[in-house]
Structure 1
Amino acid sequence: MLLCLRIENFALIDKLELEFGARLNVLTGETGAGKSIILDAIDAVLGGKVSSRVIRTGTNRALLEGTFSINPDLTAWLIEQEIDLLDDNSVIISREITATVSNIRSRSRVNGVLVNRQIMGNLRDRLVEITAQGQTVQVGQSAHLRNWLDLYGGDALIQQRQEVAVAFSNYQQAHQSLEQRRTSERERLQQLDLLTYQVQELSLANLDDPQEMEQLTQERERLNHVVDLQQMSYKVYQSLYQNDAESPTAADLLGDSETLLNQIVEFDNQLQPMLELVRDAVATVMEVGRQISIYGESLEADPQRLEEVEERLRELKQICRKYGPSLAEAIAYYEKIQIELAELNNHEQSIETLEQKEQICLQYLLQFSHKLTQLRLKTATNLESHLLSELKPLAMDKVRFQVEITPTSPTATGADKITFMFSPNPGEPIQPLTEIASGGEMSRFLLALKACFNQNDYAETMVFDEIDVGVSGRVAQAIAEKLYQLSQNQQVLCVTHQPLIAAMADRHFRVEKQVINKNGNAEQRTVVRVTSLDNLTTRREELAQLAGGKSANQAIAFAESLLVQAANHRHQQQT
């Protein structure tokens, strides 16, 4: 339950700290006094939507902090979310709202740990349920009614709904895969034709050596200069080894040098290494001469081979222009499109296979949705009976109520449209609740609906914002007793204008506006102040104000009677 609420610079509140108690907590005050601001702060600290208007004029930062008691389930959930516990009894939730020039920013923390909106939403559902007049809109929305019905149905229904959600997700994936396959089929065929042509072209080119172009270019140069190469190689042979003229060759000169060095070494063996070098040079020159002779004799003109080389080079250059720019890149591209072509030819699933899968998923979805519908029909019957029993003490014992379930296209939440049907008077046709219920009837209906969830541990704290609108007298008393009944199992916070309801409170707060001088100067500001009415005199005076508008003797007497009546009711309930 909510133990403490601290508010700074929120709407008309400059600074406020409230400590709430167990059971029934009531806030009263004049219209426009700021009662709903307190509830707006509770909503905001738990992640509700806010705008820049919630920040108090003259400031750029609002701070909200709520301290809640925790139970073992909530403790386990906090540990699961990796949120450290401050103690075993409470959790502190804070939200800082900051206004900038262009937008508004807010940060939420749980026990000092920064959390996202999803975690705050989950935590909110575990702590507080807020019922306000605005929920009349929700009563007309099938999605909200479906959630309420499923929540009332309990674990079995929620589990079945989760199975439907999984089945719907599987169906969506199968359907999307089929549609994508159909959409991409034309593109696939076009790509298949293109890759088939390219693979065939590259296959015929017999690409296997990235260095082939360099090798062919070298061969072409050799074939184009056979005569020159023969002549030059012969000249090299003559200069190194043997020539037709009688001039000495390199081998002859080196031989003479070797002879002279032999003679020198006989007298000075220090030159022995030089002699060895010259001998090696003689052998090398003679070997080069023989090799160049063989090379020159092997050269011969081959026009046919030259044409083949030229044609192959032209082919490879064309390939490189289309798939290169280098031959190595063209070969890499060839290997890549072979894999792509294999994937296109061996497509994982044909359209027929995907159609079959979609139908199977659809059948599962319909099967699970049908089971969910059956559970909802059973739950609807229970809710109808339960709600009617809760409405009877609220002076609505003649009403008829029915949960209408009509089939719709299957979604993640099933294949049902939910409508609450209502007839307030005997003999009148049953119609959608939002079209026929008056403001007072809607208020009582919402209260009775929440009373149904009370037995299912709906939330630890229930907040009602003027749930008594449009009612008075005996009906107001019935609402007071119903709120008291709810508060025996849960904490209840209620904003009310009804003295009958306020008299039933375990803790009573008066909310009022005050005009103060800012910082001791002449500038005046309006602030909201909240007073805890802890003694009988202040409570009696507030009830008298609610009943008669002033503390006249008659109003005071009426207020005293209300307090006595409330005390008697509590005593009867406890015994």
Structure 2
Amino acid sequence: MLTELHLSGLGVVEDATVPLGPGLTALTGETGAGKTMIVAGLGLLLGAKADSGVVRHGNDRAVVEGRWIVGPELAQQVGELGGDVDDGEELTCRRQVGANGRSRAVVGGAQVPVSTLAATLSELATIHGQSEQIRLSSSERQREILDEYARPVGLVQYRADLAERKQLASQLARLVEEESTRTREIELLRFGLEEINAVEPVDGEDHALATEALRLQDADQLKELAATAQRALSGDEDDFDAPSAVGLLDEARKSAEQLADRDETAAELAGRIREASYTLHDIASEVASYATDLVTDPIRLEAVAERRAQLVALTRKYGPELSDVIEWARQAVTRLDELEGADESIGALRERIAELDERLTRAAEVISKDRQRAADRLAEAVRSELAALAMPHARLEFQLTRVGLGPHGWDRVELMFSANPGSTPAPLGKVASGGELSRVRLALEVILASQMGSHTYVFDEVDAGVGGAVGLEIGKRLKRLATKSQVIVVTHLAQVAAYADAHLVIAKSSDGQVTTSDIRLLDDDERGAELARMMGGSGDSEAGVEHAAELLTRARGA
């Protein structure tokens, strides 16, 4: 339940607080006083779209704040958003719209997106504004009304299945559309893999072959250099008297060892020379082995050159380095598996879509039957309401036409109406007058609201186009609805306002430049004067006040 609504800088409202309570609350006032701003403010609080045009001239922002009494479930939701509920039941929500067009929303002290504010408060309140009368002429709104009443049990699952089908159909279309491209890619990948697999490259092979090719090409020069080094180390086999590094170092070792035998201080020096001698023998042996391994092999050189040419051909196509070629092949195998699995995916998608189509068809049939049964009940209930609203001969029926499967089943819903006996029912929006459309709207809204349980309903000039006895019946129905829910009605009819448990009047004043609005809760005397004014009197004439008192008495006794 909404206990208070505070408006600041909103349209003609400079700063006003609307006290609200249970039951039926009527808001009245002269034209232009700001009644519409109350509804607009509550709409902003419920997440309606807003722009800088709602900000009062001269203000930098418009602010709407509401206080609600909420249950434990909603209090828990607010807590999950990071907000607080005072005393476990009072929730404060705030919507701010800046002159720059920026909007902020706060729930329980926590700043949230406007969509979150709307989702949170949509469970608490519903606004039935004048735009609803226009929407009522559309088939889509008529379908929504019927579903609100029928509440088809399979509609939620139907929508989930339809969403899945849409997603799968999109995937299928993409796969089918890409089939020719996919075939070409498969052929290219297979060709590349066959070419690489035929060569069987090994990572690092190109560098090893380059080194080997260099040795084979320079084998004669390398052998000559190795022989020179070997002669210097080990001596010349053809000249035994030629000095060698190994021989000279061996002589130095022997002399050092004799020196150490005579002088202990030379022992370390002798050891170092000994180690150098052993090392030089090893080096000489390795040089000799290296020289032996150097061979001139034109056949091997040709084989190396041919292998390197194969590897170069691969790197030109599949990567600057051999490692890139090997990585390309690895990725190609993975991609090829994906592409070749597409045909299986297409088959699986088609199978699942066919299964969903069957489910959707069955569900649409059940939903349609639920609607038809509910349509008969709702039409009968509306006829009863219309009879009480001075339309005893009105006929109303829902016409369901089967069309293609859509987001709400396969039914196109149209509300057919006739106001007089003998008239053939025709589309409501084409044949109903403004007053008739207003009463049909009220009858539907009262019936739908009565089955929703505790809620806050706001009716903006639901009595437009009617008056007199019909106004009394409207007041009765709103009063009846208010026994279970909080009802706020913006009205210009005294017959409706008389049934209110609380009566708020919006009075305007003007200083010639700006207009402000003031909202007051009327006592019994003030209420009589306001009702008299609404019925066309001055508000203080004896006859008008007596008529208003009679109206109040009648309403309280209803």
Whether TM exceeds 0.5 here: the answer is yes
Say yes or no: does 1:184 pair with 2:178: yes
Q: Specify which of 512, 525, 546 is matched with residue 537 of structure 1.
A: 525
2:231 is the alignment partner of 1:219: no
Query: Which deviations, in whole Å up to 9, do the C-alpha atoms of 1:371-423 show, x marking residues without a partner?
Result: 11111111111111222222221112211110111112212321111111111
* Superposed counterparts of 1:194-343, under 5 Å: 194-208=188-202, 210-243=203-236, 244-245=238-239, 246-343=241-338
* More displaced 10-residue stretch of structure 1: 187-196 or 469-478: 469-478
Q: Deviations over 1:468-517 (max 9, x none)?
A: 1111222122112222222222111111111111222211111121124x
Decide whether aligned partners of structure 1 residues 222 and 248 sit closer, same or farther in structure 2, where only a CA change above 3 A counts: same
Matches within 5 A, 1:85-164: 85-100=85-100, 104-154=101-151, 157=152, 159-164=153-158
Decide whether the 8 Å contact of 2:75 with 2:89 is kept in 1. Answer: no
**Mapping of 1:467-486 within 5 angstroms?**
467-486=462-481
Q: Please give the alpha-carbon distance, in whole angstroms, between the structure 2 residues aligned to 1:484 and 1:370.
A: 39
Q: Which residue of 2 aligns with 1:364?
A: 359
Per the alignment, do residues 256 and 182 of structure 1 end up closer, same or farther by CA in structure 2, a change over 3 Å counting?
same
Counterparts in 2 of 1:33-52, with a 5 A limit? 33-52=33-52
Letter in 1 for 2:103: S
What CA distance in whole angstroms lies between the structure 2 residues aligned with 1:341 and 1:454?
A: 60
> Which secondary structure does the structure 1 equivalent of 2:111 belong to?
strand
- The answer to whether the Cα contact below 8 Å between 1:55 and 1:62 also exists between their aligned partners in 2 is yes
- Alpha-carbon distance, 1:345 to partner: 2.6
Please, what is the CA RMSD of the aligned residues? 1.9
Give a deviation string over 1:271-291, Cα, whole Å, max 9, x none. Answer: 222222222322332333233
What residue in structure 2 maps to residue 166 of structure 1?
160
Quick check: 288-297 or 166-175, which moved more? 288-297
The residue that corresponds to 2:430 in the other structure is 435
Tell me, yes or no, if the aligned pair for 2:81 and 2:110 is still in contact at 8 Å: no
SS in structure 1 opposite 2:68? strand
Counterpart CA distance in 1 for 2:490 and 2:282 is 115
User: Does residue 175 of the first structure (1) align with residue 169 of the second (2)?
Assistant: yes
> CA 1:408–1:82 in structure 2 vs 1: closer, same or farther (change >3 Å)?
farther
Q: Are the equivalent residues in 1 in contact too, given 2:438–2:462 (CA < 8 A)?
A: yes
Alignment correspondent of 2:542:
553
How is 1:433-472 mapped onto 2 (pairs within 5 angstroms)? Answer: 433-457=428-452, 460-472=455-467
Q: Which runs of 4+ in 1 moved over 3 A?
A: 71-84, 350-353
Q: 1:119 to 1:231 in 2, by over 3 A?
A: same
- Range with greater deviation from structure 2 (427-436 or 320-329): 320-329
Go from structure 1 to structure 2 and tell me whether the alpha carbon gap of 1:341 and 1:73 turns closer, same or farther (over 3 Å shift).
closer
Q: CA deviation at 1:190?
A: 0.9
- Give the 3-state SS of the residue equivalent to 1:7 in structure 2: strand
Q: In structure 1, what is the equivalent of residue 16 of structure 2?
A: 16
Deviation (angstroms), 1:300: 2.3
- Output the CA distance in 2 between the equivalents of 1:227 and 1:413: 89
Q: Residues 415 and 262 of structure 1: is their aligned pair in 2 closer, same or farther, counting only changes over 3 Å?
A: same
Query: Alpha-carbon deviation of 1:13?
Result: 0.9
- 1:127 Cα shift? 1.5
Q: Distance in 2 between matches of 1:567 and 1:86?
A: 35
Q: 1:83 to 1:367 in 2, by over 3 A?
A: farther
**Structure 1 residue 72: deviation in Å?**
4.5
Contact 1:70 1:91 in 2 (8 A): yes
SS in 2 for 1:357: helix
**Counterpart in the other structure of 1:566:** 555
Mark the CA change 1:230 to 1:177 in structure 2 (over 3 Å): closer, same or farther: same
Bigger Cα displacement from structure 2, 38-47 vs 88-97? 88-97
* TM-aligned CA distance change 1:34 to 1:295, over 3 Å: closer
- Rounded to whole Å, the distance in 1 between the matches of 2:292 and 2:503 is 121
Kept in 1, the 8 Å contact 2:45–2:118? The answer is no
Q: 3-state DSSP class of the match of 2:354?
A: helix
- The TM-score, its normalising length taken from structure 2, stands at 0.95
**Structure 2 Cα separation of the partners of residues 538 and 237 of structure 1:** 128
Shift of the 312–301 alpha-carbon distance from structure 1 to 2, 3 Å rule, reads same
CA distance in 2: counterparts of 1:441 and 1:485, whole angstroms: 21
Give the drift of 1:144.
Answer: 2.3
Contact 1:5 1:18 in 2 (8 A): yes
Alignment-derived partner of residue 520 in structure 1:
none
Distance 1:282 1:142, change over 3 A: same
Contact 1:46 1:93 in 2 (8 A): no
CA distance in structure 2 between the aligned counterparts of 1:298 and 1:469, rounded to whole angstroms: 111
**Counterpart of 2:149 in structure 1: which amino acid?**
Y
User: Any idea what SS the aligned residue of 1:301 has?
Assistant: coil
Question: Does structure 2 retain, via aligned residues, the 8 Å contact 1:133–1:443?
Answer: no
Distance 1:342 1:131, change over 3 A: closer
Secondary structure of 1:402's counterpart equals strand
Matches within 5 A, 1:352-391: 352-391=347-386
Task: Give, in angstroms, the shift of residue 191 of structure 1.
Answer: 0.7
Q: Which residue of 1 aligns with 2:346?
A: 351
- Name the SS of the counterpart of 1:427 in structure 2: coil
Give the aligned partner of residue 5 of structure 1. 5
Secondary structure of residue in 2 paired with 1:22 = coil
**Identity of paired residues, percent?**
30
CA distance in 2, matches of 1:207, 1:290: 36
Are the counterparts in 2 of residues 64 and 95 from structure 1 also a CA contact under 8 Å? yes
Matched residue of 2:30: which SS?
Answer: coil
Do the aligned partners of 1:129 and 1:462 also contact (CA within 8 Å) in 2?
A: yes
CA positional deviation for 1:317: 2.0
More displaced, 396-405 or 269-278? 269-278
1:32 aligns with 2:32: yes
Q: Distance in 2 between matches of 1:226 and 1:524?
A: 107
The alpha-carbon deviation at position 76 of structure 1 amounts to 5.1
Where does structure 1 lack aligned partners over 5 or more consecutive residues? 517-522, 570-575
Provide the secondary structure at the position in 2 that maps to 1:383: helix
- CA drift of 1:524 comes to 4.0
Secondary structure of the residue that 2:342 maps to in structure 1? coil
Deviation at 1:83, TM superposition (A): 4.2
The size of the alignment, in residue pairs, is 555
Q: Which residue number corresponds to residue 572 of structure 1?
A: none
Q: Deviations over 1:280-318 (max 9, x none)?
A: 322332333233233323332111111111122222222
Contact 1:128 1:459 in 2 (8 A): no
Counterparts of 1:205 and 1:543, CA distance in 2: 100
Which letter does structure 2 place at the counterpart of 1:203? N
TM-score of the pair, normalised by structure 1: 0.92
Which deviates more, 229-238 or 457-466?
A: 457-466
The whole-number CA distance in structure 2 between the counterparts of 1:17 and 1:290 is 107
Q: Distance in 2 between matches of 1:215 and 1:51?
A: 73
Q: Counterpart amino acid of 1:198? A: G
